Amino acid sequence: MDSKTIEAALGFKNWAVVGATPNKQKYGYMVFKKLKKKGYNVFAINPLYDEIENNKVYKTLLDLERKVDCVSMVIAPERGKIYIEQAAIVGAKYVWFQPGAESNELIELCKKNSIIPIYNACVLVALNHKNNF
């Protein structure tokens, strides 16, 4: 993934994290917390939870009250298709797949829906190096 695409995605402040979880050992938690710590407006998406540390958790992207520009995918690829379709409906510009969350099918689905897919790049690493792009 080229650094200009990553830098552009990180320039948007409204994000959703699909697969956000209260489990501190999981990447869904780490990505959610790191984005919040860095000052992003972050919305947790996970049908299994109602809240994470006093933050409301939404069941789907369609439940959000405001537009998100970037969707971070932290779920198994076989569960991702519905969220790519929802990202297209809500007008997300980017879908950022945590390593292991991507598949060729999901990447192609993003492109078909005019969403820029980001893969082979970890959002946690990118946020640590944000000022180096």
Calpha distance 74→21 (Å, rounded): 10
Interval 33-58: pLDDT, tens: 999 999 999 999 999 999 999 999 99
The residue that leads in pLDDT, 132 or 32, is: 32
Q: What is the pTM of this model?
A: 0.96
Domain that holds residue 23: 3-132
**CATH number of the domain bearing residue 72:** 3.40.50.720
Whether the per-residue pLDDT at 131 is higher than 70: the answer is no
Interval 61-96: pLDDT, tens: 999 989 999 999 999 999 999 999 999 999 999 999
Q: Looking at the 3D structure of the chain, how many domains does it have?
A: 1
Predicted pLDDT at 133 = 47
Interval 18-35: pLDDT, tens: 999 999 999 999 999 999
Measured between alpha carbons, how far apart are the two ends of the chain, in Å?
13
| Partner residues linked to 51 by β-bridges | 56
Q: What single string gives the DSSP state of each residue in 35-82? A: HHHTT-EEEEE-TT-SEETTEEEESSGGG-SS--SEEEE-S-GGG-HH
H/E stretch holding 112 reads: helix 104-112
